[in-house]
Amino acid sequence: MFILVAVMITFGAVIYQRSTGPTYPKKVETEIDGITYPFQLTRSHGGTTDCPLVFLINDQEVTGSVTYRKFPTTDEWTTVEMIRKGDELTVSLPNQPPAGKLEYKVEFRKNEQVYPLHETNATVIRFKGDVPAYILAPHVILMFLAMFLSNLAGVMAFFRYGGYRRLAVWTLVLLGLGGMVLGPWVQWHAFGEAWAGIPFAWDLTDNKTLLAFVFWILAVVMNRKKEQPGYIVVASIVMIIIYSIPHSMYGSQLDPETGKIIQGFISLNLIP
């Protein structure tokens, strides 16, 4: 029963984060001649290559273009026409330095009729370095397991069911390895800096990981000599709240003017 509840909470948090995170693809659609075309607009791209945008529209009479500029700036917009390859319209956004961003607008045309995917807004995409799979995979797995054990320990502590103190220790260990060891390693490969949280900067991802780690240290320490389940319950609730904050919402951002990485707010949907 406890395991089932922990699984439900964990997967609920994962689904919520993936549906609200500003770096996950944005689902949009447009209607052309009575046919609805669904798309996913890319909001994150890793590596050193240009970012391809691919739109499946089998109507051969439809053309399209993308208009972009560096974000956040007031630079002039650049427009690039899409290339048709069979049933797909394709175009690429130029690669940017790690943490660099572009805002872009997409529109389609048919018989002089324009079908914009954006009314007055643009989609923001953030570029990053390529993170090796042998670093990223264990980071994601350990953070997922830490979240699961946190929920399990919290539920068991709430009902004072034996074994929650041992689970608290394992939660702290996994969170430490996944968030405080591998997390900075991922950050280094992606954006060229290992830690952008307190006391050096205000990266939300780093800071919320640190906050969760501190609460779990407190929970483990306070339960070393005697059972004090309240601390574990509080730590698990803090973990849930932290996971409810969209990933990368206030993450690393390249200042186009200075070339330095700062922290900048990323909207959950589209940026005006």
The answer to whether the beta carbons of residues 266 and 249 sit under 8 Å apart is yes
Residues in Cβ contact with 39 at an 8 Å cutoff, skipping those fewer than 6 apart: 27, 28, 29, 30, 55, 56, 117
For the chain, domain boundaries: 2-19+131-265, 24-128
Average pLDDT over residues 35-64: 95
pLDDT at 24: 83
Per-residue pLDDT for 131 more than 70?
A: yes
Q: What is the mean pLDDT of the chain?
A: 88
Top-ranked range on mean pLDDT: pick from 29-33, 218-222, 261-265: 218-222
pLDDT at 12: 86
Architecture, CATH, for domain 24-128: Sandwich (2.60)
Letter string b/e over residues 47-66, b meaning 16 or more CB atoms within 10 A of that residue's CB: eeeebebebebeeeebebbb
267 band by pLDDT with thresholds 50, 70 and 90: very low
